[in-house]
Amino acid sequence: MKYLLTLCVTTLTAIVAEATLGTDYSPNSLTGGLHEILANGPSLSSVPHLSDPVPPTGPGYASAASMGASPNRRAYDMFGHAEPDRGANPCPYGWFGFKDSCYLLSSDEKPWVNAAIQCASMHAHLACIETAEENEFLRRLLKEIRVDQGCWHGLNELLHPGTETYGWGLTQQACTKYDWYGGEPVSPPSGNHLCGMFFQAYDYHWHVGDCTKPYRYICEMKKGQPCLCQL
C-alpha cells in the first residue's frame, strides 16, 4: 500500500504544482493579524467563545527526546504558543481568513491523497503551517466547530516513508516547526501512518495518521488567488 501511495503522490505532483504556482509559503509572507470570519461567510461569533489557550507547558509542548524517546529520534523544534490577532480581510464565501491566506474546512471526509486532489481542484492545497500564530488559529477553529476525530493538514512523509523526513503537501517543502503531541510522531510497524493531522484526542495538537483513512481536511490558498471554489 505504501508503494501505491508513493505512485499516487508522483502522479499528483503535476496537478499540485499548477495549483500552487507562485505561492509563497515563507513565514515572511504572512503579514497582518487573525481575521474575522468573512463577511457573508461563516462566523466564529455563532459558536461559543473559546477560552484562552493553555500556556506552552506539559506534554503537548515537550520534544520527543524529553519524552523518553530513543536517542536516535530527532528532537523536534516545537512551535510553542503565540496569541493570534484578529482583522477583517475578505476571502471567498465559506473560507476563513488569516493573514495572507484563506482556509476551507471541508464538510466531507477523504483519505489524505484524495483530500490533496480536492484542494488542488480548487487551485488550493492542504494547509501548510509555518508559524505558531497560524497553528493556533487553525486549532481554535477546529475547537470552536468541534470537529470530530480531527482533520488532515499538508504534512506528510509519503516520498520518504519511515524516515521522519516530513514535508508540506506534494511539493515536499521542508517542515522546520512542529506541534507534535507528547511522543509523536509514532508510526506503527504496519499500516500507512505517514500523514499529519490535527487530532481531537490531543486537543488538536498534531498526530501522524493512517493516510488511507478518511477525515475532514483543511485547504489553503493565498488571498486574491482565483478560486474554483466548491462548497
- How deeply is 172 buried, as exposed, middle or buried, from its count of CB atoms within 10 A (0-12, 13-18, 19+)? middle
Total domains present in the chain:
1
Residue 13 lies in a domain: yes
CB 60 within 8 A of CB 182: yes
Residue 195 lies in a domain: yes
Per-residue pLDDT tens digits for 86-141:
445 578 888 999 999 999 999 999 999 999 999 999 999 999 999 999 999 999 99
Indicate the range of 16-20, 130-134, 162-166, 194-198 predicted with least confidence: 16-20
Residue 212 lies in a domain: yes
Show the cell assigned to 219.
Answer: 485547504
Q: Mapping DSSP to helix (H, G, I), strand (E, B) and coil, where does residue 47 land?
A: coil
Considering only CA atoms, which of 143, 114, 119 is closest in space to residue 205?
A: 143
Residue 32 lies in a domain: no
Q: What is the pLDDT of residue 209?
A: 94
Residue 113 lies in a domain: yes
Residue 98 lies in a domain: yes
Range of the domain at 121: 2-19+78-222
Considering only CA atoms, which of 146, 134, 131 is closest in space to residue 204?
A: 146
* pLDDT of 186 over the 80 cut: yes
Distances (CA, A) of 208 to 39, 47, 134, 179, 218: 34, 28, 19, 11, 16
Question: Please, which pLDDT band fits residue 31 given cuts at 50, 70 and 90?
Answer: very low
Which residues make beta-bridge pairs with 87?
A: 35
Per-residue pLDDT tens digits for 38-72:
334 444 444 444 444 444 443 443 333 333 444 44
Q: What is the pLDDT of residue 124?
A: 94
Mean pLDDT of the residues in the chain: 73
Residue 72 lies in a domain: no
Residue 58 lies in a domain: no
Question: Please, which pLDDT band fits residue 1 given cuts at 50, 70 and 90?
Answer: low
Residue 15 belongs to domain with CATH number:
3.10.100.10
